Chains A and B, each alone.
Chain A
Amino acid sequence: MEGRTDLEYCDNLEATELRLGLPGIDRAAAVSKANKRASGDDCDLKRSPPKAQVVGWPPVRSSYRKNSFQEKRLEAADIAGAGIFVKVSMDGAPYLRKIDLRIYRGYKELREALEDMFKFLPFPSLQCHEILDVEACNESEDAIAYEDKDGDWMLAGDVPWEMFISSCRRLRIMKGSEARGLASSP
């Protein structure tokens, strides 16, 4: 009813994931902070483990969500704190969308957002892998591919998130069979 039940499992996977990138802004840090607080406070003993993100909660508009990532140290080539906007196309969809990669924390959130955006088109249930495992894809599976700054098309999920958002130029949601071809190419 609230979201996907397998996300709890995914949270545990994150703990074992190897990551490069700046400390303090990924989910792992937030989790450990929450746990520290829980042990210090009487009433927080009742608090359940950190919950998975629920769509549209807390009810903050997307323009405000960007604030959490306006870290000064994340200076990139973009101007005045503008986000990293990339076009997203989906095979079979009649329109493009544009999203700001800065507002997502990782591949899982990105996939959720894309599923949300292209909701009414057939989109398979969430695969519970932080790093998208291509071998597990079957024929009907859709995959997220991106065009990097060299113009090559790659499958999203292979590189650490920070590296991905700095090199991603556009996204494409492609059919499973095509995706497998992409994965197996050198």
Chain B
Amino acid sequence: MLENCGGDNGDDERWSLHPDEASQTKFRQVSSIVCMPPPDQVLENVLEIVLCFLTSHRDRNAASLVCKSWFRAEAQTRQELFIGNCYAVSPARAIDRFRGVRSLVLKGKPRFADFNLVPLGWGARFSPWVAGMSPAYPWLERICLKRMTVADADLVLLARSFTSFRDLSLLSCDGFTTAGLAAIAENCRRLRSLDLIENDVEDDEDEVVDWVSRFPPGKTCLESLVFDCVGFAVNFGALEALVARSPRLRRLRVNDYISVGRLCRLMSLAPQLTHLGTGSFSTFEGEGDFRAILESAFMASKSLVCLSGYRNLAIDYLPTIYPACANLISLNLSYAQITADMLGPVITRCHNLQTFWVLDSVRDEGLQMVAATCKNLRELRVFPLDPTEDSEGSVSDIGLQAISEGCKHLESILYFCQSMTNAAVVAMSNNCQDLLVFRLCIMGRHRPDHLTGEPMDEGFGAIVQNCKNLTRLAVSGLLTDNAFSYIGKYGKSVKTLSVAFAGNSDLGLRYVLEGCPKLQKLEIRDSPFGDAGLLSGIHHYYNMRFLWMSSCKITLTGCKEVARRLPHMVVEVIRDRPEDDSGSFMEKAYMYRSLVGPRNDAPPFVKLL
């Protein structure tokens, strides 16, 4: 800290020395002066200590803008690096600025990649990042990746480079196999969590590696092991032994190759679990009846607050979880095809439930039961058993209305249905004013209010008007430009907006782009918005993380105009066919701000303007 405090402040009188005396005199001066660094240095020291308490990256970004000194102090002390779009900055640049990073959060592909709208091989590879970080961040402890392509080689490099590595979270990633997992298990001796959530693990069946056996012998530091997305059997003996020697294990989510018999054994070894993913929750061939044992296992697991799994639920086994229900904060039954009758005895015991995910097979009746009991519900997701447009609607406006009346503290909802009414949506906007996330998916495209025949404009309008804290909105059903004018007028906190098969004209897009100052993520598909709408957002695109528009009415000309007027925007046009259709509408356009210009790893079907 006794280094020169920088060239910005010229008044370094205390340190001015004759050049030829410099080296010797400097040391003498240091020893004779009672360590009094210049005031700016003091300030920077204090600042660094104070900044340690700033954890939010937004706050840190703001602090770094105050002046150069603050910029430096902040850059030195930032421990968690959050990069919302891996192409907004390059590894080299990020590493150059932030030297002391311990934790990385990195997101890649646009969200619509989850629904097969982004072709294979588009990008978001983790390789250049891990290659850059490997020499630069030897103390890296935590990596969280979302929608990135992660190769086995990347995992091997990761495991070898970071000796203090503790937490790995992979969400919706692809590109790796069990061989990569084995490298992590084997080499990360301080591993605390390995959370694999909804990834596409791409092994060949004959090449599956026994990764669970690769954890080193002796007590582990494991607190969280989540592998329900790994679609291959694991070595159960090794898993059992691993759980037995992991006294700190709190979260365990197994895949559907674990039967109830095996689950019982794991639970008996780890009664301290707080989060349990139950695997298949059925018996395998010749296993016998485990209901009594399982029920006592749930009785003994007094710390359980979160249950999930039920990938292939044997309905006779559902009652075994009753003893655990009263303590549950979170319950995920979205893989279990159950009716309201089956749900009843479970949900009526779940008085403390805050998060509930379920299939619409429980129907409106099931949702009424939820509304009657779960007064503290904060998050609800209702998924479709049959995710097609023509399926029989199982939940409807009746269920939504019931939830709104019973669960007044609701903050987040994702609701799939075949049709809806404005009245129910308006009711929700009035009853649940704490809503932060409102995602309604009316699966029938362009479907109006099924009672009045009118567009769903009024319902969504009420949501943005009454739910003042709303940050995320997904709209559906028959919607005119009016819906968007409401969003633009009232949706002042909206950050994320998802639009599909909606709107009449460019006006709709204009309303949103001109009206929503906090908008950061906008994804639109199959809506009649053209170049005029696109260009109406020029003033705002630098404030956004990204804009996605597919199957709309924008043309190459419009996209080129955006690229021309906003030099720091990267505009990608993604083609499904390699033919040249310069006159027609752009199939897919994805644009985002970037500090480093167009990427150099784009595949042939991506054109960068």
Contact = CB atoms under 8 A, between A and B. Distances in A.
Nearest to A44: B450
A79 B311 CA distance: 12
Contacts of A63: 198, 229
Nearest to A36: B392
A74 to B, nearest CB: 12
Contact of B389 (A58, A62, A65, A116): A58
Which of B280, B389, B390, B525 is packed against the most chain A CB atoms within 10 Å?
A: B390
Contacts of A60: 115, 383-384, 387, 416
A119 B576 contact: yes
Which of A53, A83, A98 is packed against the most chain B CB atoms within 10 Å?
A: A98
Interface residues of chain B: helix, strand, loop or mixed (majority): loop
Nearest to B334: A64
Given A1-B526, A119-B576, A68 B121 contact: no
B112 interface: yes
B206 to A, nearest CB: 11
Given A1-B551, A37-B392, A80 B259 contact: yes
Contacts of A149: none
Contact of B387 (A41, A64, A118): A64
Interface stretch (A27-35, A128-136, A140-148, A174-182): A27-35
A59 B389 contact: no
B337 A56 contact: no
Contacts of B471: none
Interface string A50-61: 110111111111
Nearest to B416: A58
Contacts of A58: 384, 387-389, 416, 441, 443
B217 interface: no
Contacts of B114: 59, 61
Contacts of A2: 526, 551
A142 B202 CA distance: 25
A81 B526 contact: no
Nearest to B528: A1
Contacts of B312: 70, 80-81
Interface residues of A, number: 46
Nearest to A113: B116
Interface in A82-141: 82-83, 85, 87, 97-98, 113, 116-120, 122
Interface in B430-478: 441, 443-445, 447-448, 450-451, 453
B398 to A, nearest CB: 15
Given A44-B450, A58-B384, A120 B603 contact: yes
Nearest to B442: A58
A109 to B, nearest CB: 11
A62 B229 CA distance: 12
B331 interface: no
B284 A79 contact: yes
A46 interface: yes
Given A82-B256, A119-B605, A61 B526 contact: no
A20 interface: no
Contacts of A166: none
B359 interface: yes
Nearest to B552: A1
Interface string A146-173: 0000000000000000000000000000
B262 to A, nearest CB: 11
B42 interface: no
A70 B392 CA distance: 17
Nearest to B201: A98
Contacts of A43: 448, 450-451, 453
B7 interface: no
B386 A68 contact: yes
Nearest to B498: A59
Given A57-B115, A79-B233, A120 B385 contact: no
B542 interface: no
Contacts of A122: 578
A120 B337 contact: no
A87 B120 CA distance: 15
Given A33-B392, A80-B280, A85-B231, A59 B451 contact: no
A73 interface: no
Given A1-B585, A43-B453, A120 B605 contact: yes
B284 A116 contact: no
A68 B359 CA distance: 11
A34 B385 CA distance: 16
A185 to B, nearest CB: 28
A18 B259 CA distance: 39
Given A50-B389, A57-B500, A80-B282, A119 B120 contact: yes
A105 to B, nearest CB: 9
Which of A79, A117, A120 is packed against the most chain B CB atoms within 10 Å?
A: A120
B389 A57 contact: yes
Contact of B445 (A41, A51, A55, A56): A51
Q: Which 10 A-B pairs have the closest CB atoms?
A: A56-B115, A120-B605, A81-B312, A60-B387, A50-B390, A80-B280, A119-B119, A34-B390, A58-B443, A56-B117
17 contacts: A33-B392, A43-B451, A44-B450, A46-B453, A47-B447, A50-B390, A51-B389, A57-B389, A58-B416, A58-B443, A67-B359, A70-B337, A81-B311, A82-B257, A97-B120, A98-B204, A122-B578
Given A1-B585, A54-B526, 12 more contacts: A30-B386, A59-B441, A60-B115, A60-B387, A64-B383, A80-B312, A81-B256, A113-B116, A117-B120, A119-B576, A120-B121, A120-B603
Interface of B: 112, 114-117, 119-121, 198, 202, 204-205, 229, 231, 233, 256-257, 259, 280, 282, 284, 311-312, 334-335, 337, 359, 383-392, 416, 441, 443-445, 447-448, 450-451, 453, 500-501, 525-526, 551, 575-578, 585, 603-605
Interface of A: 1-2, 30-31, 33-34, 37, 41, 43-44, 46-47, 50-51, 53-65, 67-68, 70, 79-83, 85, 87, 97-98, 113, 116-120, 122
